[in-house]
Amino acid sequence: MARRDWMMLAALVGFVSVAMGAFAAHGVSDPAAKDLLKTGSLYGFVHGLATLACAVFLQLGAQRARFAPPLFLVGVLLFSGSLYALAFGAPRWVGAITPLGGLSFMAGWLTLAWAARQVPAQA
């Protein structure tokens, strides 16, 4: 996918994260659902921003950074998405998907660290 596609998806993740956070604050009375929505929103928002940061890495010459956005976005889908689903009443087994999203997040961060090695050092 092109860089602009990742950036667009990151912006949409930011939108959904804010919407879910607002819904947690104003539209849900169940404390457990509220907590799930807040956690999903936080992780989604952070990883949406991380996806945007990959564009900066690419601009600085770290071409390996192109591998991180899919990991971050799959992580959002699996981690945040499963938490959102649980908050809206999905069966408990959906919670088994959440750790896979966490692993995807971690792989994305390791990929970004690996990519950082390509950024030229300032003299």
Mind listing the pLDDT tens digit for each residue in 16-35? 999 999 999 999 999 999 99
Cα atoms in the Cβ-side hemisphere of radius 13 Å centred on 31: 0
- Residue 70 resides in a domain: yes
Q: Look up residue 2 and give its two tokens.
A: 């092109």
- Residue 63 resides in a domain: yes
Q: Look up residue 103 and give its two tokens.
A: 């692993």
Q: Does the pLDDT of residue 123 top 60, yes or no?
A: no
Coil, strand or helix: which one is 27? coil
Question: C-alpha angle 90/73/35, rounded to 5°?
Answer: 40
Q: By residue range, what is the domain housing residue 69? A: 3-116
Helix (H), strand (E) at residue 10: helix 3-26
Give dist(CA 39, CA 51) in Å, integer.
Answer: 18
- Residue 25 resides in a domain: yes
pTM of the entire predicted model: 0.94
Mind listing the pLDDT tens digit for each residue in 35-67? 999 999 999 999 999 999 999 999 999 999 999
Residue 43: predicted pLDDT: 98
Q: How many domains does the chain have?
A: 1
